[in-house]
Chain A
Amino acid sequence: MRVTSVSTFPTELADEAVYILRETAAQFERPAILFSGGKDSIVVTHLAVRAFAPAPVPFPLLHVDTGHNFVETIAYRDWLVSSWNLDLQVRYVQDSIDRGRAQEERGKYASRNILQTVTLLDAIEELRLDACIGGARRDEEKARAKERIFSVRDEFGQWDARRQRPELFDMLNGRIAPGQNVRVFPISNWTELDVWEYIREQNIPLPSIYFSHERDVFDRDGLLWADSPYINKTPDEQPYRAHVRFRTVGDMTCTAAVSSRATTLDDVIGEIASSEISERGARIDDKRSEAAMEQRKREGYF
């Protein structure tokens, strides 16, 4: 594995991301950054600030709120929006449920992760967004490895792996028909370590749950789950106190913790560089089946 006391981050990846964000602003009328409070969307937002400086970021952030958040994420989001002078739009999964647009899952693995898609597609329609900028990376998962930088979706948000536009050199074709929209992935070519090294290099504050803290967790399927009112535990799933941190920050029902004492960025980067578990290994939503991600993407998931 790589030695990481020195940053190995290739600046070219930031150049590429800034180029993509500038193209998004130029080629679309109403783009938005899909902001989850996770480190990837934080990095995309930071790159957008740099891409347009000294002018303001010319599009808003959109947060699809499942209601099952880590409180630290929401506090961080609000801090970021005010200190970086951004425009934030929030849409709630609870509203989609209340309106009968989505139905709550039941049972031990109940999660609102999939329901987010309904709220997102409704928000795209309501705000008439023609481009949604996301922090997905090709290295996260096999189906993502084939995703384009400008990925065209039909009006149902569907992704068709066989009918993607080829992307040649760095020319981006964002021309779309009415009803279509584009998902934009400026950090497609980054790895997890790149994201962390960029955060360290740029000294970007993160939500506290990315660092080691004490929390009530329980064991399920070989992973550490954060105890919360949103999770249906079985009687034998007994919470206990542990030092943990999160490698990805999604909804509380689909993000597992890892045992960690890493309290600084250097510690975290050290752990990742020597890690033997890939990042999405701690995402419960991908474990449902080997082809889980591709299935969700076809249905409009980010």
Chain B
Amino acid sequence: MDLLRLATAGSVDDGKSTLIGRLLYESGSVPKDKLAAIEAASRRRGAEGLDLSLLTDGLIAEREQGITIDVAHVYFATPTRRYIIADTPGHVEYTRNMVTGASTASVSVILIDARNGLLEQTHRHYYISALLRIPTVVVAINKMDLVDYSQTRFDEIAAAFRAMAAPVQPAGQTLRIMPVSSLHGENITRRSAHLDWYDGPTLLEVLETADAHQRSTLPGRLQIQRVLRPRNEGALDIRSYAGRIASGTFRVGDAVTVLPGGRQTRISALAHLGTPVEAAEAGQSVSVDFVDDVDVGRGSLVVPTPPEGRVGTTGPTSSLLPDGEGEGRTGRPGPAQLPSARQQLDATVCWLDEQPLRLGRVYLVQHGVQRVRAKVTAITGLVDVSTLQIGAPPDTLQLNQLATVSLKLAEPVVVDAYEENPPNGAFIVVDADTSATAAVGFVAADRPAADDDF
């Protein structure tokens, strides 16, 4: 059975916890003892009926404040699919958590209170969903019961949302806007007579049919985690190389190139979780043997060898920032192309640490499993997450701020532009002193002139 990861986002009062509680409750995923505990707690708090939001509100601190403060993981299942929800808060100061929760998601669910319409957070949530190129975005216009199930109100909000999204929506991203009432369970898993003017799918129907395997159709990328040597190594030095396929599909017999270095060989054997297989795809943990004795170590990237005459980088493209120009070019598997080994990168970063970014200071850039020393050489623009405009670059970057930056690395990393191949186009920035995860970055497309001063 496959697994779908979704991220939920919404501001404190949008009823996000209630919506998740509703999905759990109606899919039969709440055990009786948990339900009894929630009934008791609902009564203690004087809630009317069953307060389903209590299913996901976890920590002591947030119970005191009555809000969600971190990314919480919630699990449920239907006969079709297994689900993991990364529930992330919508508070202004928690952009960092939203980016974190959204990073693994195939579907992003954004809640809007029908009474309030689009808020600043709505822009932020959608911008992050666009930046991360989440394949499906569901906009649940909630609390329809409190606006008399008005189609006019729904249409108004839906139009405003589409207008806001249009300039930044990545090509290939599915946008679903739907009216719901999570409190009354309307259009979550069941349709509602109150919303008979809406003929689209319910929330659950969208989740059940969303594509969870889009990474397998991208060009192949396998980063090596570890060299495996059998215990009783004889005269022959037999090695397998372990890693998790980031994108694409690899088969026994495939011609592959190991980067950096560019040595070419063929795959002689593949094992998925220790069992020999003929082919393996994105997401699978494999070990791979090569025909030739090639120099492969932790961090090496195995990619399909491009056909003759196609050797080159991904070529000049525009900035990663969604700006409209990218439409039509992205979201498709390109021809087999080599990603480039780069010591200078332009990227969009989201700062995640309480200690602000300091230009020129040494950080560590971690791309997959490879960590290299790096400096941020310039902040080139500040992204206003609410208006989606790029403003004048600041001197520093604070927690929750997004910006375009230039980085210089001590050693090359073999990356794709995030828009071309998301699993091989993201990195984190680690503070060299505190070891905190200070930022996440999304690699911009290579600029032809960027490499000449290195």
Interface residues of A (CB under 8 A from B): 1-3, 7-16, 18-19, 22-23, 25-26, 49-56, 138-139, 142-143, 145-146, 161-162, 164-171, 173, 175-177, 188-189, 191, 275-278, 281, 290-291, 294-295
Contacts and interface: CB of A to CB of B under 8 A. Distances in A.
A76 B217 CA distance: 44
Contacts of A55: 228-231
B231 A278 contact: no
A142 B41 CA distance: 14
Interface stretch (B66-74, B118-126, B325-333, B445-453): B66-74
Interface stretch (B56-64, B156-164, B372-380, B386-394): B56-64
A10 B2 contact: yes
Given A13-B3, A26-B298, A55-B229, A175 B364 contact: yes
B364 to A, nearest CB: 7
Contact of B73 (A145, A161, A162, A164): A145
B285 A22 contact: yes
A125 B252 CA distance: 46
Indicate the size class of the contact surface on chain B. 35 or more
Greatest chain B CB density within 10 A among A1, A9, A49 is at: A1
B240 interface: yes
Contacts of B301: none
A8 B31 contact: no
Contacts of B82: 8, 10
A50 B242 CA distance: 11
For the residues of B in contact with A, the DSSP-based class is mixed
Given A54-B230, A146-B71, A177-B435, A171 B428 contact: yes
A2 B31 CA distance: 13
A173 B34 contact: no
B430 interface: yes
Interface of B: 1-3, 28, 31-34, 37, 41, 56-61, 63, 69-75, 77, 79, 82, 84, 96-97, 99-100, 103-104, 225-226, 228-231, 240, 242-244, 273-274, 283-285, 287, 298, 352, 364, 366, 368-369, 371, 423, 426-428, 430, 434-437, 440
Contacts of A171: 366, 368-369, 426-428
A163 to B, nearest CB: 9
Contacts of A13: 3
Contacts of B60: 291, 294-295
Contacts of B84: 189
Contact of A23 (B59, B369, B430): B369
Contact of A142 (B59, B240, B283): B59
A108 B436 CA distance: 44
B302 to A, nearest CB: 15
A283 to B, nearest CB: 11
Given A18-B285, A26-B369, A145-B74, A169 B103 contact: yes
A9 B1 contact: yes
A296 to B, nearest CB: 12
A24 to B, nearest CB: 10
Nearest to A279: B31
A277 B435 contact: no
21 contacts: A1-B28, A10-B3, A12-B2, A18-B273, A22-B225, A51-B285, A54-B240, A142-B58, A166-B96, A166-B437, A168-B99, A168-B426, A168-B437, A168-B440, A169-B103, A171-B426, A173-B428, A173-B430, A276-B31, A277-B33, A281-B31
Nearest to B436: A165
A169 B104 contact: yes
Nearest to B271: A53
A284 to B, nearest CB: 14
B304 to A, nearest CB: 21
The 10 closest A-B pairs by CB, nearest first: A276-B32, A142-B58, A278-B31, A18-B285, A175-B435, A166-B100, A10-B3, A54-B230, A50-B274, A15-B285
